[in-house]
Amino acid sequence: MPFSKDEDRIDTIGKCCGTTRYVGDLSFDNMLEAVTVRSTVRRGKIKKISLPEMPDGYFCVDASDIPHQNQVTYFQDTCPYFAESEVKYIAQPIMLMVGPDLRKVRRLAQKVQIDYEEIPAIHTLDEALEGTKPPMHNDDNVYFKEDFSYGDIDGAFAGSDEIFETQTRTGYQEHLYLETQGVVAVPETGKMTVYASTQGPHAIRKALGGAFGCDEEYFRIQQMPLGGGFGGKIETPFFLAGHAAFAASKCKQPVRLIYSREEDLLATTKRHPSRIVIRSALDAKGNILGVDIDVVFQAGGYALSCRMVLDTGLKKATGVYHFPAARVLGRAVATNNPMAGAYRGFGGPQTFFAIETHMNALARKFKRDPLQFKADYFIKQGTDTLTGGKYHFHVALPETIKEAARLADYERRKKEQVQHGPILRGIGQALFSFGAPFSLGTNQPLPNRCMGLLKRKDGRVEILSELVDMGQGLHTALRKIVARALKIPIERIIYKDADTDRVPEASITGASMSVVLFGRVLKDAADKLKPRLEEPGEFSVLEKVKQPDHLQWDPVKQQGDPFHSYVWGTVIAQVEVNTLTWQVAARKIWTALDVGTPIDRRIIKGQIDGGTIQGLGYSLLESMPMDAMPASLADYIIPTSLDVPPVESALIANPYPPGPYGAKCVGEPPLIGVGPAIVDAVANACGIELFQLPVSPEYLMQKMANKS
Amino acid sequence: MVNSHNPYPATLREACMAKQKGAVPYAGGTDFMIRHAKALQTGQCPPFIFLNDLNELQGISNPDNTVRIGALATMAALSVNKEIPGLLSQACNCVGSPALRSAATLGGNICTASPAGDSLPPLYALGAQVEICSPAGRRLMPIRDFISGPGTTTLQSDELLSAVILPVNEFNEFYHHKVSPRVANAITKVSLAVAARIENKRIKKIRMAFGSVGPTIICCPQIEAACTGSSLSELLSAVPELKIMVEKTIKPIDDHRSTAQYRRSIAANLLADCIETFGNP
């Protein structure tokens, strides 16, 4: 194995000792504090805004203070920084109150009186599709729609003996990074620096350029250490950066904008709730002839990234299977709810929950062993993708199944008695793959960009890249790759948090593409630097960001290879259901994952453990209504250490030739299979089918009452 | 509003008078900080009086075949103190997280008067009395009369809760179960505390109280009467009827934490579980 030693992450000590300075710890002379004034209604027209008397040195900042356009230009759909005439969700920003004393600013913000003419609001994706309320986007409330298919799907249904249908639903999920959203904007001579907790510093710079109507280089974005991201620091930071920059530009003083936890829960993006109907056309022997999948994602008041999230979700909707024919239709619909956006898994958790739950239910219906039943349809090397591309490399799915089953002693446990007094015990499994897209644009190739290495006078080598370490260990992983290519100790490799004045634009950090795509770019740069390492002076080697050569994608026809690499995995979960209270406790979770060549096993274990726990919360606890957010952690329940079972994991060695030293990705995959595995385990324990996440005790009790 | 008050009163009398003038008593602060979060953020909090210096509110003692628990006893202290009836210790150990239990006080949990207050069902079941002091003196009253509604008590503006008095050796069997959305650090969806005197496999005396299934803690005199005098085997066969009685006695609602239907069904299951636990020790 090329990487036998686990490296200590450079950020660990500061985070453990509390010395790491986050954006909220920054302070500047004459700095003003900002508080966002938000909509208190779901949907309405703003009739009148009455401001309190403003003391000296206190300002309000609204859409009229935006120099050029009130639109976050990162998004192609409408997305204003501040509401002007209408609001589309509770907590939509309307203006900023700014001044030196935060408590006074908050009091002023509370005193802003806004009168609305309310419009009947669309609460759920069902309401959006029913059309009983005035539409909020076009006539049909559909922000984005797309479909993929192959084979003779209509023929499959016409010739079927039976049609098996499932409808699954999943709810919101909050990222709950430890560090809430925050930025500080500091006006300087001929320039403005924005210190931000973000996953995409250059993307913020571009967006600010768009809003100010000026050269984006007027702005310098300094990436600050992130206290967690999980996708939540891609979209929301655009708003904060804009708000703080508009205020700093108006007041000509530094402006700090930090969300309280309540505000962060209420106003920031969440995982898209979903409703997915899967219909299988079956022949008389129970073979699947074709699968028809209808995916609806619930987006919020504005579309944000729903195109991208839905797009990757749809491309994964047929799971680890190649059916004789398949059709996938997806719609992202507008509702007057908190905005949904990017979240670890990027559409995959919803579609994999749907397909695995459908397949497991089918296996139970036919009393077949689920792993054998599913194996008939497995993707193999050379199989076509949903979009007419190919699985070019070895598919290590069977190895992950074998390894997870061995770890879990699955065959033995499966036959164990279910009833233990008031406890029902069950074991379940789910299979998944994780395709990583070329870019956050998901259906566009990577733009022409670069990253590279700076050989410094002192002999150290600095990585010039805007990619963000948000706690996932990326900087350590990339330093390891470069150190290995240069054959020098990792201590000689430097990786600073990005400063857009110093490092070139590459990409937002997300979509699990950093190690596999950009690690390769940095390795290529290091290979070029290697023979010049002893040259004196300071110089840099830049390398173009590119996707692997074997991939073909036609963004117009939406045909070809949808993803550049695939991680394969199996999750097995054992649960206990308490029949007194219908509470479900996960007792143990086993994961086997093919991540290609592991760059750092301890970091990977961290990602697997963390992803599994986040998936556990999504599966059992993180329950909220389809149309509301609790504004308190007393009511948004994530797992505590006492809720978390032992997580045992194993890695399958299946090097991916185009990746750096054969590495693939690990950030998002560990979350994907947890939901369907837990639901399968509960279904086996209780002898019923379940189609909803989270499996709340209330939902389970109701299903059990219907059973008897 | 109090203009210049001493936030650290040295005597109960001083504390009571400050409270009468509008100062808010602050002990562990764990509920207070949540209820006043908005006011804290805008610097508009009422004046506090910190009670920690008041010796009269501290300590656990055993006068006259009772346990007297000072109002400032923390949940953490009550969880481990051997003088405290196990039923109460167990419930106090279910409150929040370790950090929260180290700060939260019994007096605070009682005066918050939430139907989800975790110490309350055991206190009701054990027949606790509360000791109330004011500049005029002290008085005792049963806790079930002290708590008058959700978030309200009969405490007068110049009064403070000073202690809780529990009878001891009245009961010999106990049952406690808290159902919450996760294993720890969560607000109760439904809970049951039962104290019973069982002699020769017969119920001599039983008292039970449900949490989070009504505007206040729900007492069950009819169910207690139905159980008293029965043998354990008679009780076991009466479980179906008793479950129906539970469902009729409690008054759960639908809210963002759970549904009335769930709370009703689980409350009944908990009583059944209690009887099975007593019957099959």
Q: Are residues A389 and A524 in the same domain?
A: no
* Whole-number pLDDT of residue A627: 85
Q: State which amino acid sits at residue A394.
A: H
Q: Are residues A55 and A184 in the same domain?
A: yes
DSSP-based three-state secondary structure for A669: helix
Give residue A601's pLDDT band: very low, low, confident or very high (50, 70, 90). Answer: very high
Strands B202-211 and B147-149: unpaired
| DSSP state at residue A516 | I
Place of tokens 């991540």: A595
* Whole-number pLDDT of residue A437: 84
Q: Are residues A479 and A432 in the same domain?
A: no
The residue of chain A nearest to residue B185, with distances taken between CA atoms, is: A640
- Residues of chain B neighbouring A634 (CB-CB closer than 8 A): 34, 187
The last residue of one of the domains, among A513, A546, A579, is: A546
Q: Are residues A398 and A478 in the same domain?
A: no
* Whole-number pLDDT of residue A262: 92
- CA A330/CA A351 separation, integer angstroms: 11
DSSP-based three-state secondary structure for A538: coil
Which of A103, A262, A585 lies nearest to residue B43, judging by beta carbons?
A: A103
Higher pLDDT, A564 or B198: B198
Topology (CATH level 3) of domain B173-279: Enolase-like; domain 1 (3.30.390)
CA torsion through residues A660, A662, A665, A666, sign? negative
Q: Which domain holds residue A207?
A: 23-119+176-267
Contact A332, A143 (CB under 8 A): yes
- Residues of chain A neighbouring B269 (CB-CB closer than 8 A): 580-581
CB contact under 8 A, B97 and A698: no
Q: How far is B44 from chain A (nearest CA, A)?
A: 9
**Which tokens sit at B16?**
């009571």
User: Chain B interface, mutation test: which of A261, A580, A636, A699, most B Cβ atoms within 10 Å?
Assistant: A580
* Whole-number pLDDT of residue A440: 64
Q: Where are the domains of chain B?
A: 12-36+56-167, 173-279
Residue A141: inside a domain, yes or no? no
DSSP-based three-state secondary structure for A576: strand
Which of B182, B259, B270 lies nearest to residue A643, judging by beta carbons?
A: B182
Residue A511: inside a domain, yes or no? yes
pLDDT digits (tens, 9 = 90+) for A517-531: 999 999 999 999 999
Using a CB–CB cutoff of 8 Å, tell me whether B34 touches chain A.
Answer: yes
The last residue of one of the domains, among A222, A239, A267, is: A267
Using a CB–CB cutoff of 8 Å, tell me whether B265 touches chain A.
Answer: yes
* Whole-number pLDDT of residue A291: 98
Q: How confident is the prediction for chain A on average, in pLDDT? A: 96
* Whole-number pLDDT of residue A72: 98
- CA B167/CA B67 separation, integer angstroms: 6
- Residues of chain B neighbouring A422 (CB-CB closer than 8 A): 273
Q: How far is A105 from chain B (nearest CA, A)?
A: 8
- Residues of chain A neighbouring B42 (CB-CB closer than 8 A): 103, 106-107, 110
A49-58, A543-552, A652-661, B126-135 — which is least confidently predicted?
A543-552
Is residue A223 within a helix (H) or strand (E), and if so which, with residue range?
strand A219-223
Which of A580, A630, A640 lies nearest to residue B182, judging by beta carbons?
A: A640
Higher pLDDT, A281 or A556: A281
Q: How far is B275 from chain A (nearest CA, A)?
A: 13
The pTM score is: 0.96
Residue A142: inside a domain, yes or no? no
Size of interface A-B (CB pairs under 8 A): 65
Asked if the model's pLDDT at residue B256 lies above 60, the reply is yes
Q: Are residues A613 and A701 in the same domain?
A: yes
Using a CB–CB cutoff of 8 Å, tell me whether B179 touches chain A.
Answer: yes
- CA A382/CA A391 separation, integer angstroms: 5
Q: Are residues A84 and A201 in the same domain?
A: yes
Asked if the model's pLDDT at residue A1 lies above 70, the reply is no
Share of chain A above pLDDT 70, in %: 99
| CATH code for position A42 | 3.30.365.10
> What architecture is the B12-36+56-167 domain classified under in CATH?
2-Layer Sandwich (3.30)
Whole-complex ipTM: 0.95
DSSP E strand boundaries for A235-364: 255-258, 274-282, 288-298, 326-333
- Residues of chain A neighbouring B273 (CB-CB closer than 8 A): 422, 580
Higher pLDDT, A627 or A504: A504
CB contact under 8 A, B273 and A583: no
Binding-site residues on chain A for chain B (CB distance < 8 A): 103-104, 106-107, 110, 260, 262, 422, 580-583, 585, 621, 623, 625, 628, 630, 632, 634-635, 637, 639-640, 642-643, 697-698, 701-702
Contacting residues for A25 by C-beta, under 8 A, at least 6 apart = none
The gap from C-alpha A265 to its chain's centroid, in whole angstroms, comes to 16
Higher pLDDT, A484 or A564: A484
Q: Are residues A430 and A458 in the same domain?
A: no
Q: How far is B269 from chain A (nearest CA, A)?
A: 6
Using a CB–CB cutoff of 8 Å, tell me whether B280 touches chain A.
Answer: no
CB contact under 8 A, A635 and B187: yes
pLDDT digits (tens, 9 = 90+) for A338-390: 889 999 999 999 999 999 999 999 999 999 999 999 999 999 999 999 999 99
- CA B218/CA B115 separation, integer angstroms: 9
CB contact under 8 A, A582 and B97: no
pLDDT digits (tens, 9 = 90+) for A134-160: 999 999 999 999 999 999 999 999 999
Q: How far is B90 from chain A (nearest CA, A)?
A: 17
The residue of chain B nearest to residue A645, with distances taken between CA atoms, is: B183
Q: Are residues A387 and A460 in the same domain?
A: no
CB contact under 8 A, B41 and A698: no
Asked if the model's pLDDT at residue A447 lies above 80, the reply is no
Asked if the model's pLDDT at residue B1 lies above 60, the reply is no
Which of B187, B269, B270 lies nearest to residue A634, judging by beta carbons?
A: B187
- CA B124/CA B275 separation, integer angstroms: 19
Binding-face residues of B in 79-118 toward A, CB within 8 A: 97
Residue A245: inside a domain, yes or no? yes
* Whole-number pLDDT of residue B2: 44
Q: How confident is the prediction for chain B on average, in pLDDT? A: 95
Mean pLDDT of A241-261: 97
Q: Are residues A694 and A581 in the same domain?
A: yes
Residue A246: inside a domain, yes or no? yes
- Residues of chain A neighbouring B184 (CB-CB closer than 8 A): 640, 642-643
pLDDT digits (tens, 9 = 90+) for A103-130: 999 999 999 999 999 999 999 999 999 9
* Whole-number pLDDT of residue A628: 78
Residue A76: inside a domain, yes or no? yes
CB contact under 8 A, A637 and B186: yes
- CA A381/CA A351 separation, integer angstroms: 22
CB contact under 8 A, B34 and A632: yes
Q: What is the domain count for chain A? A: 3
pLDDT digits (tens, 9 = 90+) for A621-648: 998 788 877 778 888 999 999 999 999 9
**Which tokens sit at A450?**
């670069």
The last residue of one of the domains, among A232, A251, A267, is: A267
Mean pLDDT of A25-34: 98
Using a CB–CB cutoff of 8 Å, tell me whether B261 touches chain A.
Answer: yes
Residue A329: inside a domain, yes or no? no
Asked if the model's pLDDT at residue B3 lies above 70, the reply is no
Q: Are residues A430 and A452 in the same domain?
A: no
Residue A305: inside a domain, yes or no? no
How many Cα atoms sit within 13 Å of A322 on the Cβ side?
17
Q: Are residues A519 and A618 in the same domain?
A: no
Q: Are residues A431 and A538 in the same domain?
A: no
Asked if the model's pLDDT at residue B226 lies above 90, the reply is yes
